[in-house]
A and B are shown apart, each in its own frame.
Chain A
Amino acid sequence: MAMASETVANERMTPAPARQRPAWRAIYAGVFAGDPLGLAGVAMLAILLTVALLGPLLVTHDPILTTPGTLLPPSAEHWFGTDDFGRDVFSRTLVSLRIDFIVAGVGVTGAILIGSLIGLVCGYRGGWLDDTLMRFVDIIQSFPLILVAMVLVLAIGPSVGSIVVVTVLINIPLYARVIRGQTLAVKHLDYVDAARCSGATELGIMIRHVLPNTLNPIAIHASLNLAAAVGNVAVLSFLGIGIRPPTPDLGVMVAEGTRFLVQGAWWMSLFPGLVLSATIFSLNLLGDALESGLDPRRQER
C-alpha cells in the first residue's frame, strides 16, 4: 500500500509533459539534422519572415505612391518594375507579404486554439456533444471550402478582418478532428489513469497530460495548413473578394497584372506570384519534414 502511494506520488512529481520536454527538443533537432530539405525549408521561411517583418524598413519606394513612370520593366531603380500607377512592384510585394503572413498566421492560430479546444473536449468527454459536433464537422468538410470562404467573407463584409475570421472558421474542423483523434488515443493510457488516481482534476489532466501529446500532430498540420491558408487568402483576393486595392496583397497584385499582360508587362503578375509560391513552398517543405520526422508510423521506415 505504501509502495503504491509512493509510485503515485512520483507520478505526480514528474508529470508526463515535464519528462518529455527535453526529448522533444532532441526530436525536433533530429528531424532537421537528417533532412537537408527540411532545413532548406526552414531557412527559406526564416528569410521570407524576416523580409516580411522588416518590410517597411526594406522597401525602396513608397508602396502606394503613384508616379508618372508607369509600367516600367525591371531595372536597377525598380527591381520588380512598376505597375500601371507607377508604383514600385518590389516595395508593394514586400508589404503584401507582410499582410498575407499576418492574416494567414492569425487565422491559423485562431483555428488551432478553438479547434483544439473543441477536439479536446469532444474526445475527452465523448457522448452526445461529441456526436453532434463531429457530424457537423463531417458536413462542413464535404463543402467546397473556397466557395464557402467566399460566401462567408461577403456575408461579414469584405475586409482584412473578415478574411482572418473566415480563415479561422474554415480551418476549425481540421484541428477539431485531429486533436479529438489524438485525445481518444491517449486518454486511456496508464499515465492518465495514474494522474487521476493521484487526485488531478479533469481539467488538469486535459491540460497537463493530454494536450502536450497533441503537439506533434498540431505542428505538422499547422505548417501545411498555413501554406494552404496563405494560398487561400491570395485566391480570395485574386477573385476580388476580401483584401481590396489599394491595400497591397499578393493575390490582388497578380490579378491587377493580368490586365497588362497584353502589353507585355509580365513583371506585375510574375514577381508577386513567385514570392507567393516561395512562401507556400517553404511552409510545405517544413510541414513535410515535420511529418516524416515526427510521425511515429513513418519514423520506423
Chain B
Amino acid sequence: MRIPPVLAYVLRRIAISAVVLLGISAVAFSMAYLLPSDPVTSRYPDITNEQRAEMRRQMGLDQPLLVQYARYMQSVFAGEFGRSLGTGNSVGEDLARRIPATLELAVYGILLGTALGIPLGMVAAIRRGRPTDHLLRVVNIAIQSVPAFWLGIVLIFVLFYQLRWVPTPVGRLSPIHSPPPFFIGFYTIDGLVAGKFDVALAAARQLILPVLVLGLGVVSPLARITRAAMGESLGEDYVIFGRALGLGERQVVLGDAFRGALVPIVTTLGFVVGNVLAGAAIVETVFSWPGIGRYAVTAITTSDMAPVSTCILLVASGVALTNLLVDLSYALIDPRIRHGYGK
C-alpha cells in the first residue's frame, strides 16, 4: 500500500512533535526541580527535622532527579500530571477546571487582535509611505510598547473605579451569578446554549477588559507582518494582471493580494498564540482570572513543582501544536506548496 505524500508528511511532523515534546517535558521538569526546592518547609515552617524528612520521603522528594522525572512522566501518561501541594488535587484536575477560563480569554483575545491587526496592516500597505502609513506605524509601536499589566490597571481605574462602565474585576463571573451548565466551557457560549442570557451577558462584561488587554498585544505583530507581506504581494504580477482585467479594487486587494500574503500572516499568527498563552499569566494576575496563567504564577512563587512543570509543558505543547497546524495549513493556503513547487 502506498501512503500518500501529504499523509506521510503529516505523520512525520507528528512524530517529530512528539519527540520535541518529550525533550520539552524533561527540560520543564528539570527547571521546576531548580526551584528553591523545599516546598515542605515553606508550607509547614514549624515542623521538626524528622517530620520534614518523613514528608519529603512520602512526596518522593528525596529521590534522585531521574527517578522523580520517571515518576512524573508515569503520572503524566495516567492523565494526573503529578499532585499540586497547594491545592491538594491532581494537577490534571486543577487544569481541567482552569483551561476553559484561559481558552475563553485567549480565543476572544486572538479574534479581537486579528480583527484589528490585519486590517490595520492592509491599510498601511495600501497607503505605503503616505501620512496614514506613518500614523499607523506610530500607533502600532505605541500599542506594542505599553506594558500589559500597567494598561490593565489604568483601564480598571478609569473604566471601573471612575466611570463604572465595567463590572468589578473579580474573575469570570461575579458571585451573584452561578456558572452555566458545561457545554464547551466558555461561560458566554454555555450561557447562551442554556438560555441563561443574563449569565452570558454578565460573563461577556467580565471579559471586556482582559480580552482588550490580551488582544492589543496581538495587534502589532500581525499589523507589521500584514503590511510587509501585502506590500510585497500588491506588487506581484497577478495583482497587476487582475487590475488590467478590470477587476474591482476590492477583489484585487482582498481576494488576490491578501490571499498571496496569507502564508507569512498565518506563520505570525502561530507565533502569536505562544505570546498570548504566556501573556495570559500577566493578564490573569491583574484581572483575578482563574485560569492556568495565574495557576502557574502561584505555583512558581510557592515552589509547587508538579504544576510548574506541567504548565510549562502545557504552554510549550500548545505552541508545538499551533506550529504543526500552521505548517499543515500552508498546503491549504498556497497551491504552490500543495503541488510541491516550493517557495
Binding site for B on A (CB under 8 A): 37, 138-140, 142-148, 150-152, 154-155, 157, 227, 231, 234-235, 238-241, 251, 254-255, 257-258, 261-262, 264, 266, 269-270, 273, 276-277, 280-281, 284-285, 288, 298, 301
Are the C-beta atoms of B149 and A238 separated by less than 8 Å?
Answer: yes
Q: Which of A142, A154, A255 contacts B35 (CB 8 A)?
A: A154
**Interface status of B183 (Cβ within 8 A of chain A):** no
Are the C-beta atoms of B274 and A142 separated by less than 8 Å?
Answer: yes
Are the C-beta atoms of B23 and A150 separated by less than 8 Å?
Answer: no
**Interface status of B277 (Cβ within 8 A of chain A):** yes
Q: Which of A145, A152, A234 contacts B147 (CB 8 A)?
A: A234
Residue of B nearest to A280 (CB): B145
A-B contact list, 26 entries, CB within 8 Å: A37-B134, A37-B137, A37-B138, A139-B24, A143-B27, A143-B28, A143-B316, A144-B315, A147-B281, A148-B312, A152-B34, A154-B300, A227-B145, A235-B147, A235-B149, A238-B282, A239-B282, A239-B297, A239-B301, A261-B156, A266-B157, A277-B147, A280-B147, A281-B145, A285-B138, A288-B141
From residue B177, how far is it (CB to closest CB) to chain A in Å?
23
The docked-state distance in angstroms from the alpha carbon of A254 to that of B149 is 9
Main secondary structure of the interface of A (DSSP, over half): helix
**Interface status of B325 (Cβ within 8 A of chain A):** no
Residue of A nearest to B220 (CB): A284
Are the C-beta atoms of B137 and A258 separated by less than 8 Å?
Answer: no
Tell me the number of A-to-B contacts counted with CB atoms below 8 Å: 130
Are the C-beta atoms of A148 and B319 separated by less than 8 Å?
Answer: no
Are the C-beta atoms of A147 and B142 separated by less than 8 Å?
Answer: no
The docked-state distance in angstroms from the alpha carbon of A151 to that of B36 is 9
Q: A157 — which chain B residues lie within 8 A by C-beta?
A: 36
Q: Which of B20, B141, B146 contacts A285 (CB 8 A)?
A: B141
Q: Which of B31, B137, B138, B153 contacts A148 (CB 8 A)?
A: B31
Are the C-beta atoms of A270 and B281 separated by less than 8 Å?
Answer: no
Given A241-B301, A264-B161, A273-B154, residue A235 in contact with residue B137 (CB < 8 A) = no
**Interface status of B320 (Cβ within 8 A of chain A):** yes
With A139-B23, A147-B308, A269-B157 already in contact, 18 other A-B pairs whose C-beta atoms are closer than 8 Å: A142-B24, A143-B28, A143-B312, A143-B316, A146-B282, A147-B315, A150-B297, A150-B301, A151-B308, A152-B31, A154-B303, A155-B31, A235-B147, A239-B301, A254-B150, A261-B157, A281-B145, A285-B141
Residue of A nearest to B308 (CB): A151
Q: A257 — which chain B residues lie within 8 A by C-beta?
A: 153
Are the C-beta atoms of A145 and B23 separated by less than 8 Å?
Answer: no
Given A142-B316, A147-B315, A155-B34, residue A276 in contact with residue B157 (CB < 8 A) = no
Q: B20 — which chain A residues lie within 8 A by C-beta?
A: 138-139, 142
CB contact list, B306-322 vs A, under 8 A: 308, 311-312, 315-316, 319-320
From residue A160, how far is it (CB to closest CB) to chain B in Å?
18
Q: A258 — which chain B residues lie within 8 A by C-beta?
A: 153
Q: Which of B35, B128, B150, B311 contacts A277 (CB 8 A)?
A: B150
Are the C-beta atoms of A147 and B145 separated by less than 8 Å?
Answer: no
Q: Which of A147, A151, A277, A288 contacts B34 (CB 8 A)?
A: A151
Q: B282 — which chain A residues lie within 8 A by C-beta?
A: 146, 235, 238-239
Are the C-beta atoms of A146 and B149 separated by less than 8 Å?
Answer: no
Q: A151 — which chain B residues lie within 8 A by C-beta?
A: 31-32, 34-35, 300, 308, 312
Given A261-B156, A269-B150, residue A147 in contact with residue B27 (CB < 8 A) = no
Q: A155 — which chain B residues lie within 8 A by C-beta?
A: 31, 34-36
The docked-state distance in angstroms from the alpha carbon of A261 to that of B152 is 13
Binding site for A on B (CB under 8 A): 20, 23-24, 27-28, 31-32, 34-36, 128, 134, 137-138, 141-142, 144-147, 149-150, 153-154, 156-157, 161, 228, 231, 274, 277-279, 281-282, 285, 296-297, 300-301, 303, 308, 311-312, 315-316, 319-320, 323
The docked-state distance in angstroms from the alpha carbon of A154 to that of B154 is 28
The docked-state distance in angstroms from the alpha carbon of A283 to that of B56 is 48
Q: A234 — which chain B residues lie within 8 A by C-beta?
A: 147, 149
The docked-state distance in angstroms from the alpha carbon of A152 to that of B300 is 10
Are the C-beta atoms of A269 and B154 separated by less than 8 Å?
Answer: yes
Residue of B nearest to A263 (CB): B161
Given A151-B300, A281-B145, A284-B141, residue A139 in contact with residue B31 (CB < 8 A) = no
The docked-state distance in angstroms from the alpha carbon of A67 to that of B138 is 41
The docked-state distance in angstroms from the alpha carbon of A80 to that of B205 is 33
Q: B149 — which chain A residues lie within 8 A by C-beta?
A: 234-235, 238, 251, 254-255
Given A157-B36, A239-B297, residue A144 in contact with residue B277 (CB < 8 A) = yes
Q: B312 — which chain A residues lie within 8 A by C-beta?
A: 143-144, 147-148, 151
Q: A148 — which chain B residues lie within 8 A by C-beta?
A: 31, 312
The 4 closest A-B pairs by CB, nearest first: A273-B150, A155-B34, A281-B145, A144-B278
The docked-state distance in angstroms from the alpha carbon of A8 to that of B296 is 60
The docked-state distance in angstroms from the alpha carbon of A151 to that of B157 is 31
